[in-house]
Amino acid sequence: MKMKIISVVGARPNFMKIAPFIRAIERYNQTSSGSHGQNINHILVHTGQHYDISMSQAFFRELNIPDPNINLEVGSGTHAEQVGKTMITFESVLRQEKPDWVVVVGDVNATLACSVTAKKEGVKVCHIEAGLRSGDMTMPEEINRLVTDRLADLLLTPDKISSENLRKEGVSENKIVFVGNIMIDTLEANRAKAAALNIDAICTDNIIGKRKHNSQILKENYYGLMTMHRPSNVDDPAVLGPLVDLFCKEVANEMPLIWPIHPRSEKKLKEFGLWETVSKTVNMILLNPIGYHEMLRLNMDASLLLTDSGGLQEECTVLGTPCLTLRWNTDRPVTLREHGGASVLVGNDVEKIRTEYRKSLASERKPMRPELWDGHTAERCLRAILDYRKPL
Ligand code: UD1
């Protein structure tokens, strides 16, 4: 008997989560008909939310993800547009393919849209990275997580705090499986390849415009790394302006600050007349969106990381990079310093960022490995699906 699984990706942070899962399926198909006596027919659906080469195809190539079997090509738009278009097109995919399972990862619009559509079509849903909660309903990702986890048949959690969150919400025990963090599978599988890259070359290859960066300072591995794209940080000039001032006039005054820019942030900086300041700051090294290995390499030796990304908080924890999280809350408390991680919440308050920045510069790199962040999560995810028994 063949099991049919449709996995869904939509936006950049999904790609590093699906890569090891696909590899686990390939291994299972090669080494079995398995203890379960079945092969898996796997179909990869890309909703097309991220479509630029640097935001999508580049990751497929780098992480050896097969081309999607189906691309829904929903593109950019408001949340309702993205979710609505995805639901309409994904519904017809489900009707045609009739899978046993739909596997969704993370918390982007594809995660929400495809889990709702699958449940309405009577298809079982498995959510990888279930149970994360920030409690912040102003974040679209929190809404996506809540809806997905309420509907999913199988909730695969990255840490025990997430499992506990689900129990508190009344999710029955037989649906929850603690599997570890699948993104760390990708980190471990790519660590050596990333380590071989040259930091100076990464900056030269990706720099925006024709500027030259100060390669002398970079060679000494004394630099900060920054990513920032959340609407709460970049969509309001009253928030973005003072942040840009702090990063350009203070941080970049002391150390080179490498900032690979998300298309959303570039658009907003230009719209608010801040692009000139940022691009003229001598030690601010502005890069186009960079690849997975390049980002991992920069993270490995950064003195400090400033970010509002969720995945980077996790990678900093494993690499030990002191991380200032530019948010007031986190859905990943296991990455916080009070839980042994590398990250501290600084929101977008300039004074708080300044204080924690000073403290972080004085702190040591301290790698930490939460339970089951061991590089083997994808196998446990697949096993959980194969072992799933419908509750009586
Ligand atoms: C989405 C996810 C967010 C994730 C982020 C990672 C949701 C709700 N949000 O946010 O959780 O952290 O991806 O990047 O799903 N754009 C391009 N090229 C692209 C894609 C986007 O230029 O390939 C520009 C467009 O102007 C678009 C804007 O970026 O309007 C925002 O993209 P969108 O996919 O709506 O949300 P993200 O901010 O990327």
DSSP 38-105: --EEEEEEE--SS-SGGGTHHHHHHTTPPPPSEE----S--HHHHHHHHHHHHHHHHHHH--SEEEEE
Q: State the amino acid at position 312 in one-letter form.
A: L
Q: How many A from CA of 152 to the centre of ligand 1? A: 24
* Cβ-proximal residues to 199 (8 Å cutoff; 6+ apart), any chain: 218, 219, 221, 223, 297, 298, 301
The count of residues in the chain is 392
Q: Of ligand 1's atoms, which has the minimum distance to the CA of residue 309?
A: 12
pLDDT digits (tens, 9 = 90+) for 137-196: 999 999 999 999 999 999 999 999 999 999 999 999 999 999 999 999 999 999 999 999
Whose alpha carbon is nearest atom 3 of ligand 1? 108
pTM over cut 0.85: yes
47 lines ligand 1 (CB under 6 A): no
Q: What is the pLDDT, as a whole number, of residue 34?
A: 53
- pLDDT surpasses 70 at 248: yes
Residue 102 Cα to ligand 1 midpoint, Å, equals: 23
Q: How far is CA 68 from the centre of its chain?
A: 19
Question: Which positions are catalytic?
Answer: 229
Q: Is the CB of 13 under 6 A from ligand 1?
A: yes
Q: Which helix (H) or strand (E) holds 315?
A: helix 310-319
Q: Please indicate whether residue 49, judged by its CB atom, sits closer than 6 Å to ligand 1.
A: yes
Is the beta carbon of 119 within 6 A of some atom in ligand 1? no
* Cα of 139 from ligand 1 centre, angstroms: 13
Among 11-20, 32-41, 258-267, name the one with the lowest average pLDDT. Answer: 32-41
**Mean pLDDT of the 376-382 span:** 98
Please give the pLDDT value at position 390. Answer: 80
Contact (Cβ atoms closer than 8 angstroms) between residue 322 and residue 315: no
The tens digit of pLDDT for each residue in 255-274 reads 999 999 999 999 999 999 99
- The C-alpha atoms of residue 300 and residue 303 are separated, in whole angstroms, by 9
Q: Which of 50, 309, 332 is the pocket-test mutation for ligand 1 (most atoms within 8 Å of CB)?
A: 50
Q: Whose CA is nearest to atom 37 of ligand 1?
A: 264
Supply the pLDDT for residue 149: 98
Q: Whose CA is nearest to atom 31 of ligand 1?
A: 264
Quote the pLDDT of residue 364: 83
Helix (H, G, I), strand (E, B) or coil at 136: coil
At residue 27, does pLDDT exceed 60? yes
Q: List the structure tokens of 34.
A: 């398995």
Residue-level pLDDT at 213: 66
Instruction: State if residue 51 touches ligand 1 by the CB under 6 angstroms criterion.
Output: yes
| Residue 216 reports pLDDT greater than 80 | no
Which residues in 281-306 are b (16+ Cβ under 10 Å) and which e? bebbbbbebbbbbbbbbbbbbbbbbb
Cα distance between residue 315 and residue 310, in whole Å:
9
Does residue 210 carry a pLDDT above 80?
no
- Residue from 108, 141, 232, 307 to probe ligand 1 pocket by mutation (most atoms less than 8 Å from CB): 108
Domains and CATH numbers, the chain: 2-181+373-386 (3.40.50.2000), 190-362 (3.40.50.2000)
In the prediction, which pLDDT does 33 show?
A: 59
Q: Whose CA is nearest to atom 35 of ligand 1?
A: 76
With a 6 Å cutoff on the Cβ, whether 146 touches ligand 1 is: no
Which residue, judged by its Cα, is nearest atom 12 of ligand 1?
309
- Residues of the chain with pLDDT > 70, as a percent, come to 95
Q: How far, in Å, is the centroid of ligand 1 from the Cα of 310? A: 14
**Predicted confidence (pLDDT) at residue 110 exceeds the cutoff of 80:** yes
What is the distance in A from the centroid of ligand 1 to the CA of 11?
Answer: 7
Residue 211 has pLDDT above 80, yes or no: no
Q: Which atom of ligand 1 is nearest to the CA of 11?
A: 13
